Amino acid sequence: MAAPRHLPLLLLILLVGFASADEGGEGGPRGRRLLVLVDDLAVRSSHSAFFGSLQARGFDLDFRLADDPKLSLHRYGQYLYDGLVLFAPSTPRFGGSLDQNAVLEFIDAGHDMILAADSSASDLIRGIAAECGVDFDEDPEAMVIDHINYAVTDAEGDHTLIAGDDLIQSDVILGKEKIEAPVSFRGIGHSVNPSNSLVLKVLSASPSAYSANPKTKLASPPSLTGSAISLVSVMQARNNARVLVSGSLDLFSNRFLKSGIEKAGSKMRYEKAGNEQFVTETSKWVFHERGHLKAVNVKHNKVGETNEPGMYRINDDLEYSVEIYEWSGTSWKPYVADDVQVQFYMMSPYVLKTLSTDNKGVFSTSFKVPDVYGVFQFKVEYQRLGYTGLSLSKQIPVRPYKHNEYERFITSAYPYYAASFSTMGAFFIFSFVYLYHK
Amino acid sequence: MAEPGSSTAAAGDGGGRLRNAFGGVLCAFTLLLIGVLAFSIRLFSVIKYESVIHEFDPYFNFRVTQFLSKNGIYEFWNWFDDRTWYPLGRVIGGTVYPGLTLTAGTLWWLLNSLNIPLSVETVCVFTAPIFSANASWATYLLTKEAKGTGAGLMAATILAMVPSYISRSVAGSYDNEAVAIFALIFTFYLYVKTLNTGSLFYATLNALSYFYMVCSWGGYTFIINLIPMHVLLCIVTGRYSSRLYIAFAPLVILGTLLAALVPVVGFNAVMTSEHFASFLVFIILHVVALVYYIKGLLTPRLFKVAMTLVISVGLAVCFAVVAILIALVASSPTKGWSGRSLSLLDPTYASKYIPIIASVSEHQPPTWPSYFMDINVLAFLIPAGIISCFLPLSDASSFMVLYLVTAAYFSGVMVRLMLVLAPAACILSGIALSEAFNVLTRSIKCQLAKLFDDSPAASGDSSAESSSASTASTNSAKNENRSEKTKTIPKEKPSKNRKKEREVAESVPVKHKKEKKLLVLPMEASAMGILLLIVLGGFYVVHCVWAAAEAYSAPSIVLTSRSHDGLHVFDDFREAYAWLSHNTDVDDKVASWWDYGYQTTAMANRTVIVDNNTWNNTHIATVGTAMSSPEKVAWEIFNSLDVKYVLVVFGGLVGYPSDDINKFLWMVRIGGGVFPHIKEPDYLRDGNYRVDAQATPTMLNCLMYKLCYYRFVETDGKGFDRVRGYEIGKKHFKLTHFEEVFTTHHWMVRIYKLKPQKNRVRGKLKKLKSGSKTSSTIAAGRNKNPWQ
């Protein structure tokens, strides 16, 4: 059914692809070509508000059916897209060369993804989510039910439409503006391993929620309960690829974005649910329009010099500086923080200093090289919630004193000098007397 | 080779001026030939293989020499090397014995300034043969001091080709011992020379030579202990003389001062127990000198009074000093001795406390066959040499005997010190052979003279008498020799010495003439004796040439094996190092067992974690622990050290026995010595290290096993290890934290790369996956063959 559209679309993709590659090359951390996979083209219109906001921000969306046989993420070793929006929860298998591993490789190559599931989520979708550290409820019929914090609807339903307001406290992920209205959610819950530091719960369920099949009676205690249930999670991989996993596709739909919401038990009725702000802000974060740091110009030198030496001596005084910028979506802005630290590290940190910033992006400090020689590293390990991790290390050897760099005449050694010279003198006199006093 | 020595000795016996001159020329010519022999017998390695640096330590010395020739001596002195012992680094200038490097560097500089453009490597390769020629000349000088020219030439010839010394000084074996043996013998020569002449000039030279020895090798402690022992021996046997004082006192003072100048020794020269013997004997010598002086001043009765006074006071002082010393020494944990020296005094010490010393093969006690291999017939000649040293016992000959006895003890403790025994054995054998030839040729001469004179022969000599006859004639011959020498070079000797010599020379000849007639062997016996000695010498030469050509010339970085289908060359080491230098980043760190550290830095120019300079036990134990840990733990250890590549040596495919699996017990022991969670019994089955089906699970899961045997089963389908001689225990497994990046042609070196940390952390969705993490044995058991 999509066959006649393929060729022009492909051309369009290529053209757009090149164009956006150029655009992305202007200094932003990510390009702007997104592949949107849907299992029904109706999603395109039913979620047009979300797509529209992406397009309005300059993204080029390429809508494809998930089982399109010509689907491919890369060609000739180059990725065709910079991000993936996976709105195809029920697809059992991708078309073309795309499969679970291809998607994961796409992420491992440093690309971003938004994945939305719903109660019909296939094993493929669950598998991809699990590889990203998100475990959907294994019961395929289960949905998140909350009999207390549900959204009030016209008909008394089964309380699967949830008004979620337990959002993560992070301006970086959710934007500076506080999301006042609850976010309406209908879908499946997932859990994340608390020991997994890469995954964050962005929208958590309330303590009264549980995950079960709403159509049947609860036979056994549900496996997922309370705030352990995460409704929307994000994962930032070690290579800073970002993935958003939502248990609800409806979360992004026009209906949820536009309609009002009233949380049960609360008198407040919001004209508009928090969904629009929520999806816009999180998608900004996922596609690296916010919270992306870069460090450039790592410099170190002896105090009073400007050249970077190849080696320091113990007890040298040195200066270290690094410039850190944050991507604001349009340009690199100086990053301002007072918690960036540098380590002077050899198996363990010998010096740990907080860098001071001049608010123009330059972070600097100065310290004395410890009285230990060896191969040290300047290490900056900056991991902050929501921000991309900065991990800089620069190797620098520290040598001991050269043989002629020690202090020459030590005051406390004067008795010894005197002793040796007096002995020499005495010996000379003695020899003289002994030899010529006959 | 035996003839020139004896003929010169005979020429010396002759006495004629012309013959003397002829003897001198012949002697010089013989010495030249000996030098050529010593040099050329060591070239087998170059001819059979190629002109390369051998083994492990020489690569480090070569690298240091390269640095020296490029950057000059001050840079070398201050060199802080950041490419070894990452991340600690090593102060090379302060921890290396610079003698060898400076020698070769000077040699290279000299040749280059003469416009002979040799590469540093060539100079390094040939340094050892050149210095073995020097060593044989020094042996000549030393033996000549004790027993005359004939014995000297004999000893020099023997030393030029003694297998024990060849093993350490073939071309390419660019190690400290190469120059140190020369320095050792030369120092002894100068000591004996000083002792014989009492000249302060030689005493000063002696201290300088000792300084060179200190620069060259840690074995200098042998000198600084042996010479005091000899001095003490002389004092105890009532042989104190002013010559002894001059020979020893300046050596202690100047030698210690000079030794303290060498950065690696520094204050050790006055702080460690190895050097205390010399100071103690120095004090004793002064006390004795004072006693002799006072004895000369006072009348015997007064002397007795003074004696009791001095002894009581002296004893009190002595006790005080000794008490302080003991208190000082006892306050240090090793009692002031370094580990290596302690293991010399107590051979079981190292195996009990310091596995890192015990792990080195050359620190093991030698087996009996190695004596026959390394010094061959000399072992039988030594007793004869000792006997002739006692006839008569001079200061010099007593030194030889003492040298031999101590060296024999040390060689019994550490196979490496066989090298110190070799010169002593050569000297004493040379003396024995030369004396024997002396006796035999002289009796032939007498018989011939009698034959021509037609005088009544002393036919009463029987073979029973011959032994006593030979000893007596040795005695006389020796003295004759001596007096000859004093006449030819009278100016060099101070008067006292000459007087003594003359006394000896004059006292003996009274009965000398008579005895000479009596103590002559029958013609046939002498001829037979000479023939037998020549045959013995022949055997020795044959053995030496065989040892030089076959046993000791392998460079150990290139291996060969002969089989029915011809010669196989295994050049895997250089293949691996070349791969590293071409395919990895300059700053990448390579971890391997410490044996390969020097080679990796020198040949691949990559940073290593540990190397053959085993100065930091903890660091080595860390690597040992990583090698004996499971993959994940090992990955964490290596990652914390910024290691990118891991190199293992594996001989199972071609049957190369000194591979990492055979060294593995030391990794476990050294690792367990510092990190107690590594327990040796976990790796042992019935007290043995096994890697076959009976191996313990810990063994089969440790990193070393996995890196060695990864994909090994693909080679023959069974995983048969040709070194251990059985099939390996676990054949099919995958690596989770390491990936194979390079395996050499014969699988002798395998290089693995640490996988980067996982980009994502997987959820727990799949039950099967989480099972495989907790116990990989079960997973492997279920998943029998991942390769199919």
User: pLDDT, tens digit, for every residue of A276-294?
Assistant: 899 999 999 999 988 899 9
> Across the interface, which of A127, A193, A374 has its CB nearest the CB of B87?
A374
- B657 in contact with chain A, both atoms CB, cutoff 8 A: no
**DSSP readout, A369-381?**
PPS--EEEEEEEE
Dist CA B41 CA B39 (whole Å): 6
Reduce the DSSP state of residue B467 to 3 states and report it.
helix
Reduce the DSSP state of residue B217 to 3 states and report it.
coil
Reduce the DSSP state of residue B652 to 3 states and report it.
coil
Reduce the DSSP state of residue B507 to 3 states and report it.
helix
CB contact under 8 A, B760 and A132: yes
Q: Which residues pair with B591 in a beta bridge?
A: B646
Residue B587: closest C-alpha in chain A = A395
Dihedral of the alpha carbons of A153, A157, A159, A160, in degrees to the nearest 10: -90
Instruction: Answer whether residue A419 shows pLDDT above 50.
Output: yes
From chain A, pick out residues whose CB is under 8 angstroms from the CB of B640: 347
pLDDT score at B517? 53
CB contact under 8 A, A193 and B82: no
Mutual angle of helices B220-236 and B176-197, in 10-degree steps: 20
Across the range B183-210, mean pLDDT stands at 94
pLDDT score at B518? 54
> Across the interface, which of A129, A239, A400 has its CB nearest the CB of B80?
A400
From chain A, pick out residues whose CB is under 8 angstroms from the CB of B759: 107-108, 237-239, 241
> CB-based contacts of A247: which residues, under 8 Å, 6+ apart?
A117, A118, A136, A144, A185, A187, A188, A189, A190, A230, A231, A232
> CB-based contacts of A56: which residues, under 8 Å, 6+ apart?
none
> Across the interface, which of B78, B87, B93 has its CB nearest the CB of A346?
B87
Phi-psi sector, A115: left (phi>0), alpha (psi -120 to 50), beta: beta
- B538 in contact with chain A, both atoms CB, cutoff 8 A: no
Dist CA B8 CA B3 (whole Å): 8
- B759 in contact with chain A, both atoms CB, cutoff 8 A: yes
**Among B269, B165, B280, which Cα is nearest to B211's?**
B269
**Which residues of A fall below an 8 Å CB-CB distance to B?**
104, 107-108, 126-127, 129-136, 138, 192-193, 196-199, 235, 237-239, 241, 311, 346-347, 373-377, 395, 397, 399-400, 402-403
Query: Which band of pLDDT confidence, cut at 50, 70 and 90, is reported for residue A217?
Result: confident
- B467 in contact with chain A, both atoms CB, cutoff 8 A: no
Dist CA A276 CA A202 (whole Å): 15
**DSSP readout, A125-153?**
HHHHHHHTTEEE-S-TT-EEEESSSBBP-
State the DSSP code for B41. G
- B777 in contact with chain A, both atoms CB, cutoff 8 A: no
Residue B759: closest C-alpha in chain A = A238
Residue A130: closest C-alpha in chain B = B763
Choose from A197, A234, A239, A375 for mutation: most chain B CBs within 10 A: A375
- B77 in contact with chain A, both atoms CB, cutoff 8 A: yes
CB contact under 8 A, A238 and B758: yes
Question: Which is higher by pLDDT, B391 or B195?
Answer: B195
From chain B, pick out residues whose CB is under 8 angstroms from the CB of A239: 759
Size of interface A-B (CB pairs under 8 A): 82
> CB-based contacts of B373: which residues, under 8 Å, 6+ apart?
B163, B547, B551
Instruction: Answer whether residue A24 shows pLDDT above 80.
Output: no
Across the range A261-281, mean pLDDT stands at 84
Q: Distance from B408 to chain A by nearest Cα, in Å?
A: 40
Dist CA A337 CA A324 (whole Å): 10
Instruction: Answer whether residue B5 shows pLDDT above 60.
Output: no
Both tokens of A80, joined, read 């065709």
pLDDT score at B695? 85
Across the range B503-507, mean pLDDT stands at 44
Across the range A396-423, mean pLDDT stands at 90
Residue in the structure block whose two tokens are 């039988």: B380
CB contact under 8 A, A373 and B93: no
Query: Which band of pLDDT confidence, cut at 50, 70 and 90, is reported for residue B359?
Result: confident
Across the range A292-299, mean pLDDT stands at 90
Query: Which band of pLDDT confidence, cut at 50, 70 and 90, is reported for residue B351?
Result: low
- Dihedral sign for Cα atoms in the order A307, A308, A312, A315: positive
Choose from B261, B760, B768 for mutation: most chain A CBs within 10 A: B760
Across the range A72-96, mean pLDDT stands at 88
Query: Which band of pLDDT confidence, cut at 50, 70 and 90, is reported for residue A36?
Result: very high
pLDDT score at B510? 45
Query: Which band of pLDDT confidence, cut at 50, 70 and 90, is reported for residue B507?
Result: very low
- B98 in contact with chain A, both atoms CB, cutoff 8 A: no
From chain B, pick out residues whose CB is under 8 angstroms from the CB of A130: 762-766
Q: Distance from A68 to chain B by nearest Cα, in Å?
A: 28
- B82 in contact with chain A, both atoms CB, cutoff 8 A: yes
**Among B124, B121, B122, B79, which Cα is nearest to B101's?**
B124
- B761 in contact with chain A, both atoms CB, cutoff 8 A: yes
User: pLDDT, tens digit, for every residue of B114-145?
Assistant: 999 999 999 999 999 999 999 999 999 999 99
From chain A, pick out residues whose CB is under 8 angstroms from the CB of B762: 130-131, 133
State the DSSP code for A224. S
Q: Which of A147-161, A308-322, B304-318 has the lowest mean pLDDT?
A: A147-161
**Among B344, B449, B456, B395, which Cα is nearest to B145's?**
B395
From chain B, pick out residues whose CB is under 8 angstroms from the CB of A376: 87
- B72 in contact with chain A, both atoms CB, cutoff 8 A: no
From chain B, pick out residues whose CB is under 8 angstroms from the CB of A192: 763
| Residues A137 and A179 sit within 8 Å (Cβ to Cβ) | no
Which of A86-90, A269-273, B28-32, B770-774 is the most confident on average?
B28-32
Reduce the DSSP state of residue B426 to 3 states and report it.
helix
Torsion angles phi and psi, residue A145, rounded to 5: -120, 140
Instruction: Answer whether residue A323 shows pLDDT above 90.
Output: yes
Whole-number Cα distances in Å, B720 to B562, B691, B783: 21, 11, 21
> pTM of this prediction?
0.81
Pairing of strands A74-75, B684-685: unpaired
What is chain A's mean pLDDT, rounded?
86
From chain A, pick out residues whose CB is under 8 angstroms from the CB of B91: 373, 400
Across the range B605-610, mean pLDDT stands at 91
CB contact under 8 A, B763 and A397: no
pLDDT score at A155? 65
**Among B284, B281, B289, which Cα is nearest to B251's?**
B281
User: pLDDT, tens digit, for every residue of B99-118?
Assistant: 999 999 999 999 999 999 99
Count of residues in chain A: 438
Nearest 5°: the CA angle A345, A348, A351 is: 50
From chain B, pick out residues whose CB is under 8 angstroms from the CB of A108: 759-760
CB contact under 8 A, A400 and B757: no
pLDDT score at B335? 59
Q: Distance from B551 to chain A by nearest Cα, in Å?
A: 41
Across the range B695-720, mean pLDDT stands at 88
User: pLDDT, tens digit, for every residue of B379-413?
Assistant: 889 999 999 988 888 889 999 999 999 999 888 88
CB contact under 8 A, B640 and A346: no
CB contact under 8 A, B759 and A241: yes
CB contact under 8 A, A403 and B77: yes
Q: Distance from B240 to chain A by nearest Cα, in Å?
A: 24
CB contact under 8 A, B761 and A196: yes
Query: Which band of pLDDT confidence, cut at 50, 70 and 90, is reported for residue A343?
Result: very high
- B86 in contact with chain A, both atoms CB, cutoff 8 A: yes
Its ipTM equals 0.82
User: pLDDT, tens digit, for every residue of B8-50?
Assistant: 444 444 456 777 888 889 999 999 999 999 999 999 989 988 8
Both tokens of B500, joined, read 């003594």
Reduce the DSSP state of residue A80 to 3 states and report it.
coil
Dist CA A236 CA A110 (whole Å): 10
Q: Distance from A135 to chain B by nearest Cα, in Å?
A: 6
pLDDT score at B472? 42
Nearest 5°: the CA angle B608, B612, B616 is: 80
Nearest 5°: the CA angle A283, A289, A295 is: 140
CB contact under 8 A, A375 and B86: yes
From chain A, pick out residues whose CB is under 8 angstroms from the CB of B758: 238
Dist CA A229 CA A191 (whole Å): 5
b/e string for B214-240 if b means 16 or more Cβ within 10 A?
bbbbbbbbbbbbbbbbbbbebbeeebb
Mutual angle of helices B120-147 and B418-453, in 10-degree steps: 50
Across the range A74-87, mean pLDDT stands at 89
Instruction: Answer whether residue B683 shows pLDDT above 60.
Output: yes
Residue B718, burial from CB neighbour count under 10 angstroms (0-12, 13-18, 19+)? exposed
Instruction: Answer whether residue B56 shows pLDDT above 80.
Output: yes
Reduce the DSSP state of residue A297 to 3 states and report it.
strand
Query: One-letter amino acid identity for A255?
Result: R
High-pLDDT (> 90) share of chain B, %: 37
Dist CA A378 CA B273 (whole Å): 43
pLDDT score at B290? 85
Reduce the DSSP state of residue B3 to 3 states and report it.
helix
Q: Distance from B327 to chain A by nearest Cα, in Å?
A: 25
CB contact under 8 A, A193 and B764: yes
Phi-psi sector, A297: left (phi>0), alpha (psi -120 to 50), beta: left
CB contact under 8 A, A196 and B91: no
